[in-house]
């Protein structure tokens, strides 16, 4: 869908073992940090790396997720007329909204200039909505919020979060999953993967990396461990001003 396309922190060692106990006790750790503003963690990945699966698991653990794709849908629908003016050749041939979205998606996959034009229009508005949601959650005393954004690094969104979690899979795994899931040829899959930043470049930029080359259950276990150890240590250090 088109919406998937629309779309640091100081070096502190957070790898020490968690002393806060199990996931069931994690809420008590948050309760210790009520005097600290809401932490905003960027959650990102590449096409077919498993970011959406990771977001779903974090949501089931009780975390609040701000979904950039949902915000992009809101912006796109509200600003459809202005977007059609940006791409008059597509709008003229496909004036109906659903057809326009589909053909615009094909165009921005294939043409970097068109993709940059759309991103430049969309993402300031998406960030405005994201900040409003974060402020609302902060007013509700939510301790940590994940900003789920597939194009977090590509659009500069990483500068608006405190730290980043990358769900990683190597290129060949991305290709295999995408070809199987969407019945794409290798060339079609590569075109879509290359519409985003190289996954290895994202890996170098991320605060934390969770590798997802195995089963869904294995990913869930890795996320549980990350929450218990890495995230809890980060939040505790944050609450102490470290």
- pLDDT tens series, the chain, 242 aa: 333 333 322 222 222 333 334 444 444 444 444 445 899 999 999 999 999 999 999 999 999 999 999 999 999 999 999 999 999 999 999 999 999 999 999 898 889 899 999 999 999 999 999 999 999 999 999 999 999 999 999 989 999 999 999 999 999 999 999 999 999 999 999 988 998 999 999 999 999 999 999 999 999 999 999 999 999 999 999 988 76
- pLDDT score recorded for residue 216: 96
Q: Buried (b) or exposed (e) across 92-114, using 16+ Cβ within 10 A? A: eebeeeeebbebbbebbbeeeeb
- pLDDT score recorded for residue 43: 98
- pLDDT score recorded for residue 36: 55
Class of domain 3-7+26-235: alpha beta
Are 144 and 29 in contact by the 8 Å Cβ rule? The answer is no
DSSP 110-137: H-HHHHHHHHHHHHHHHHHHHHHHHHHH
Are 34 and 140 in contact by the 8 Å Cβ rule? The answer is no
Label the pairing between strands 64-67 and 144-148.
parallel
**What three-state secondary structure class fits 25?**
helix
């Amino acid at each position: 869908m088109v919406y998937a396309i629309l779309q640091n922190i100081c070096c502190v060692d957070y790898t020490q073992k968690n002393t806060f106990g199990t996931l069931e006790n994690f809420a008590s750790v948050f309760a210790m940090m009520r005097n600290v503003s809401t932490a905003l963690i960027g959650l990102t990945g590449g096409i077919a790396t498993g970011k959406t699966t990771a977001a779903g698991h974090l949501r089931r653990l009780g975390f609040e997720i701000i979904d950039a794709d949902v915000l992009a849908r809101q912006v796109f629908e509200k600003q459809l007329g202005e977007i059609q003016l940006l791409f008059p050749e597509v709008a003229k041939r496909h004036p109906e909204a659903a057809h326009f979205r589909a053909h615009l998606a094909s165009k921005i996959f294939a043409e970097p200039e068109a993709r940059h034009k759309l991103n430049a229009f969309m993402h300031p508005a998406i960030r405005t909505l994201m900040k409003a949601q974060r402020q609302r959650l902060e007013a509700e005393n939510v301790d940590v919020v994940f900003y789920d954004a597939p194009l977090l690094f590509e659009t500069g969104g990483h500068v608006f979060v405190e730290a980043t979690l990358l769900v990683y899979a190597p290129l060949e795994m991305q290709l295999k999953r995408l070809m199987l899931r969407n019945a794409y040829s290798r060339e079609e899959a590569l075109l879509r993967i290359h519409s985003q930043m190289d996954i290895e470049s994202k890996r170098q930029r991320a605060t934390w990396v969770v590798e997802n080359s195995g089963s869904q259950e294995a990913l869930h276990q890795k996320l549980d461990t990350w929450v218990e150890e890495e995230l809890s240590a980060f939040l505790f250090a944050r609450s102490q001003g470290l």
